[in-house]
Structure 1
Amino acid sequence: MEVRGRAAFVTGAGSGIGRALCLALARAGCHVLCSDLNSESAATTAASCRLSGVQVAFRAVDAGDKAALHAAIDWGEEWARGCGCAGVSIFVANAGILTLGGLDAADEVWRRAFAVNTMQCVHAADRIVPLMAGRGGGSFVVVASAAGLLTQHGALPYAVSKAAAVAVARWIAISHGAADSGNVRVSCVCPQAVATGMTRGADPRRDLHAASTMSGADGVLDADAVAAAILDGIASGRFLVLPHPSVAKYITFAAAKPERWIARMQQLKAAFESARPQAAHGTGPSRARL
């Protein structure tokens, strides 16, 4: 899909991948609605996007709240028409939260992880996909994670909620991607470590060091690189967008030789757990999207 002259709605636009993507879309000539839980952060992103000469708006939205998200999408449709577009052609479910812990994670941690990382995608699609289909198509982007394809030590609720997001993206692509069933192209973005502020404020004495170090084994990308990969995915209609190409190799290995894959991950877990005390002294990575 050509983004120039179209209207895009991006959640989690106040920082990291979301901000980088909004700026990239604006530079490409796309009108952008920047939404974020933090209104000031969304406004800052919007101000930067306006420098590209496109129509821009911002709105404070809790992506994990169905009613709030639906209201924002309805508002965004009106805004897009005011930009001279038929409606929102590109929706990016980017907002996400990193939730650490294992089997002992509290129910509220699980609830919030699924509300933002998974149900955001369901609720957004429920509202916007039929509208896109009625206009002949669109682009629906889910920013998931390599953790959703492979898992993530130290972050069970995060890995499971991102795996569910991948499943949601795949279902929408199958059900609404064909020309005779909506022509809504779906892209599922699954990076490993990305330099963002997602983990700011997390307790480094828990599993953050092991989780972020394992996910960053193939290098930590900056948000601009991921935004470029997403734009390419939108333009090409590619379903699986892997900013870290090595993830494709890992998926193949895990599917073909699951026992060997699990054994290898057990070895990595043991190695990184031995380094966990370093994180309490600030020597581990402090900013990563997993």
Structure 2
Amino acid sequence: MSKQLLHPAVYRFIDQSNMGPTFSALQSFAIDDALAISVGEHESPTTARLWVHHDTVVLGIPDARLPHISEAIDYLKEQGYQVVVRNSGGLAVVLDEGVLNLSLIFPDAKEVNIHDGYEAMVEFIQHLFADLTDQIEAYEITQSYCPGTYDLSIGGKKFAGISQRRVKRGSAVQIYLDVTGSGAERAALLKNFYKVGLNDEPTRFQYPDVDPSVMASLNELLGADLTVEDVRTRILYQLNEWSDRIVANSLEGEEIETFTKRFEQMILRNNKALEQIQD
């Protein structure tokens, strides 16, 4: 099934990795929703989208229920990070200019098992760096931030996490790749976030006990000097290798209308969530 997903006749490529600090994570979620609808309806080919956000912590819904979440958000802001709350599962992740995000957007979500989407992304990344390592594994790194079954690691140190959002008949499989910088520093930020947010109070939900030593960037793990631009180039070559052709079209037509609606909804939900937190 992963071969069917990963080797379409045509790939659409959207590069938003150089949009700058004003490009909001909420925009990214809305864009992927619009693309998932378009791809799911076969109005667009299978799509790969690259995106980078500067100094942003994306919280999951459970994070917003931390007993001292208001103080925890203040801590993140004091460290220079903007904070958004996504309206889906998962937990807090750190995004900055050294983290490259890739969305692979597939059609036929209702006929394709959700695990097939995750497995496809794992295969894509393993192949992407096959010339540098054959040690990329997928299993939960329990003391990482936002731990999940499809965490990607080398030697027990996590450098990437995968999520999936299904909208109508399309699915957006999203991965963040810590390319440059310190994975441990990013993890330490969220370790302190949870320390402030919990303040030793017991909770029903089990928040991660983040250990910064289990997280690293690709450069740290591979002893490499990759840049986000290098990985972008690798992805473009792989898309070209795995399809007959690539088209580079930004959002168009109904996709723009859908994005606008979804973005407005996400802004309202995010503001409501943050207002409830601050009250």
Greater relative contact order (CA < 8 Å, ≥ 6 in sequence): 2
Same fold, TM-score > 0.5, yes or no: no
More helix by share: 1
TM-score (norm 2): 0.32
Length-normalised TM-score, structure 1? 0.31
From the two aligned structures, give the one with the greater strand fraction: 2
